Amino acid sequence: MSEPSQPYRPRMSVAGLAPTHAVEAVDEQGEARAMEIAGEFPLTIKVDDREVVTLMTLGTYPEALTLGYLRNQRLIEDIERIRAVEVDWDREQVSVTTVDGKGIVDWEEKLSGRTVTTGCGQGTVFSCTLDALYDRRVPQVTLRQSRIYALLQAIAAYNEIYKRAGAVHGCALCRDTDIITFIEDVGRHNAADAISGLMWLDGVGGEDKVFYTTGRLTSEIVMKVAHMGIPALLSRSGVTHMGLELAQDLGLVMIARAKGKHFLVYNGADRVEFDARPPRTPVSRKRRPGSPVHAA
């Protein structure tokens, strides 16, 4: 599947904020230390002047976050319906203007059911998100153990904001061992939405990609990855029961507790090629005291 060279792009502001802020803290020895802390700001999404939701975000990719949120929640299905995305931090809002000015189609129905999720900073899932979930099937892929190891090694060089300030999660869009996009935010669901927004803008498909996150694989993250059309998830953290059930239903490869040379495949082990297993060391059998010795 070829990706379009010049996909449609709405008019957008460029209003990303600095990810960290300088502060002073006192350590356990009573000494003052110059430190950095992660930002956290409210951003209210409005579509044709109608409020949808308020997100708490680092603020580094507000336009992409907005687009990805609308896409992953299935509130707007076609990016060509969006004329402009304009962020105003003074008003703590982002205004999305549609081409026809009619806002979200079937607004009341789509926003009628809202579930607060376990996402950091509290995420939301609308009923229309769940309704559309089983309309698509992700492609079946095979992952090689050796390539998973190489990808984990490559990702270790990222997490820049976390290393400076902590308090954030990182998500990455990967192809084989290449990290295409790595985004950090105060919530992993925000980072996932921002990646989705960038994919939408650039016309990038998910069929040959792997989604990585430092956070746990909950049902919300599985839903977002499925809506992006990505067939495999990789996490440094663990999984939840509902996240696993959803991955099983949708046919996603789910790998967690992945760090260094260790990982656990919770779903799709038949699609992982274990090509880097070390040879087994023969187990030596020690003669118990008093046991007979048999001559050759």
pLDDT digits (tens, 9 = 90+) for 220-254: 999 999 999 999 999 999 999 999 999 999 999 99
Q: Are 70 and 47 in contact (CB under 8 A)?
A: yes
Of 74, 71, 84, the closest CA to residue 200 belongs to 71
- Walk me through the domains of the chain, giving residue ranges and CATH numbers: 11-21+34-133 (3.10.20.10), 143-273 (3.40.140.10)
Of 186, 177, 178, 188, the closest CA to residue 235 belongs to 188
Could you say which DSSP state residue 239 is in? B
pLDDT at position 171? 97
Percentage, residues of the chain above pLDDT 90: 75
Q: How far apart are CA 137 and CA 94, in angstroms?
A: 32
pLDDT digits (tens, 9 = 90+) for 18-32: 999 999 999 999 999
pLDDT for residue 8 is more than 80:
yes
Question: Among 96-100, 128-132, 272-276, which stretch is predicted with the lowest mean pLDDT?
Answer: 128-132
Q: How far apart are CA 210 and CA 107, in angstroms?
A: 32
pLDDT digits (tens, 9 = 90+) for 161-215: 999 998 899 999 999 999 999 999 999 999 999 999 999 999 999 999 999 999 9
Between 46 and 111, the more confident residue is: 46
Give the confidence band of 117 by pLDDT, cuts at 50, 70, 90. Answer: very low
pLDDT at position 42? 97
Longest dimension (CA), the chain: 92
